[in-house]
Structure 1
Amino acid sequence: MAKTKELSKDTRNKIVDLHQAGKTESAIGKQLGVKKSTVGAIIRKWKTYKTTDNLPRSGAPRKISPRGVKMITRTVSKNPRTTRGDLVNGLQRAGTKVTKATISNTLRRQGLKSCSARRVPLLKPVHVRARLKFAREHLDDPEEDGRMRKNAELHPKNTIPTVKHGGGNIMLWGCFSAKGPGRLIRVKERMNGAMYREILSKNLLPSARALKMKRGWVFQHDNDPKHTSRAMKEWLRKKHFKVLEWPSPSPDLNPIENLWRDLKIRVAQRQPQNITALEEICMEEWAKLPTT
């Protein structure tokens, strides 16, 4: 038999108040949406003990004392990366022997749950200074400032592995600005510097023209080695591209990640059955992406 949800202290007090006002158990139950038997039990407890509070229940006592609960809760709050093993060892040193499962159950009752820390790039002082400089320089940029955005092609997030039953994935290159998405193409071979320059040559400027970008727009791509090579920088200089300075390592600053996420969700909802269908659906859904 499933355990019923316990009534709140406020509801139990209302039951007693209505009883004292002369209401019947049936009337109280209908008014508060509570079973008549439950209403009767609460009234009987109140008559016997003069309280609606929960009384001590039978059963084995908790393995961790209230003081121990406070200790492990405080430890986890101060250092969220504390492991269950650390807490088990800490309690054992204090004379309490428990399992990791007991630790998990205790923390769960305190409203805490376990999770894995997100892996992020290790930032050296020079990286921190570069990020701070980047933020200060662009703090007052207007929201409508349209910049072309280019993805990190070989980043795993930019593959679309959504063919049903594990049928494979494809790699895409795309760009967008504040005016909407530009071109999207499938990359069928392993990306290198020469291929990257060819993709930009054939797709970036046509995208800018199609989006009617004003003169002086800024090109943004991250610090992938193909993007920062001497040959790439020289090619961009000859093409007169204005490139946004990009602090390293800062993949979290790349706004196109949000676009890839939206595209993946849309594609997954259509459940492509093969690689050909996957590519077609990607192109269709990319064209439907909103401009804002």
Structure 2
Amino acid sequence: MALCEKVFAPLLKHNLTVVYHTSVSHYVWRESNTAFQKKNIIPTVKYGGGSVMVWGCFAASGPGRLAVINGTMNSAVYQKILKENVRPSVCDLKLKRTWVLQQDNDPKHTSKSTSEWLKKNKMKTLEWPSQSPDLNPIEMLWHDLKKVVHARKPSNVAELQQFCKDEWAKIPPQCCNRLIASYGKRLIAVVAAKGGPTSY
């Protein structure tokens, strides 16, 4: 259990999909002849739907940073996300030097270049099984985030991204602490199910 309290748990490449409500009118104050400048345009998605890919992390002391991923995810992009978000999150959450990075076995996480990058940057990782959704404590946070973002009814990609960041920042530290504290029960349930699905 002591180890679980030190686990820093990121989530990679998760898509949030919502149905946009395109009947909502938006008004923009602008100067003459600037209608098509980027700052005066609100992006919309045809056919009433869209998604964003985000990376997030948390520890027992609360949520860390949430990053929106643009374009294709590969090892280089993953390393850039880690570089820009892990250490700042560790500082924000006031974690001690004994923190451990938890990631799954996605090829981008275990590639030679990522392994070398993690070693060079002295980031210790937690050994992790290949198929383990019931073991990842961040899945509950992800479920809750989808629910609250959907309830806010974003009407375009920009709003969806902003709502994700807003709601992630609102996650109470007590919620994160409960997820880490219940990790022992999660492990027992997975062992009892012989690696099969559990209620988590």
The answer to whether the Cα contact below 8 Å between 2:12 and 2:56 also exists between their aligned partners in 1 is: no
Aligned counterparts of 2:55 and 2:19: Cα–Cα separation in 1: 18
1:187 maps onto 2:43 in alignment: no
Larger proportion of helix: 1
Count of paired positions: 148
SS at match of 1:186: strand
| Alpha-carbon distance, 1:218 to partner | 0.6
Aligned counterparts of 1:179 and 1:144: Cα–Cα separation in 2: 12
Aligned to 2:137: 255
1:222 maps onto 2:82 in alignment: no
| Closer/same/farther in 2, CA of residues 145 and 160 from structure 1, 3 Å limit | same
SS at match of 1:151: strand
Give per-residue Cα distances to partners, 1:70-113, cap 9 Å, x unaligned: xxxxxxxxxxxxxxxxxxxxxxxxxxxxxxxxxxxxxxxxxxxx
Paired amino acid for 1:202: E
Q: 1:282 aligns with which of 164, 169, 180?
A: 164
Report which structure shows greater RCO (CA 8 Å, sep ≥6): 2
The answer to whether the Cα contact below 8 Å between 2:17 and 2:52 also exists between their aligned partners in 1 is: yes
Aligned to 1:232: 114
The answer to whether the Cα contact below 8 Å between 1:197 and 1:232 also exists between their aligned partners in 2 is: yes
The answer to whether the Cα contact below 8 Å between 2:7 and 2:100 also exists between their aligned partners in 1 is: yes
Aligned to 2:79: 197
Paired amino acid for 1:180: G
| Alpha-carbon distance, 1:142 to partner | 3.6
Give per-residue Cα distances to partners, 1:99-130, cap 9 Å, x unaligned: xxxxxxxxxxxxxxxxxxxxxxxxxxxxxxxx
Give per-residue Cα distances to partners, 1:143-167, cap 9 Å, x unaligned: 87132111131xxxx2111142533
| Alpha-carbon distance, 1:248 to partner | 2.0
The answer to whether the Cα contact below 8 Å between 1:163 and 1:169 also exists between their aligned partners in 2 is: no
Q: 1:160 aligns with which of 10, 13, 16?
A: 16
The answer to whether the Cα contact below 8 Å between 1:151 and 1:256 also exists between their aligned partners in 2 is: yes
The answer to whether the Cα contact below 8 Å between 1:146 and 1:179 also exists between their aligned partners in 2 is: no
Larger proportion of strand: 2
Aligned to 2:126: 244
Structure 1 unaligned regions, length at least 5: 1-140
Matched-pair identity in %? 50
Q: 1:177 aligns with which of 43, 54, 59?
A: 59
Paired amino acid for 2:15: T
SS at match of 1:235: helix
Paired amino acid for 1:270: R
Aligned to 1:149: 9
Q: Which of the two has higher C-alpha Rg?
A: 1
TM-score normalised to structure 1 length: 0.49
| Alpha-carbon distance, 1:271 to partner | 0.7
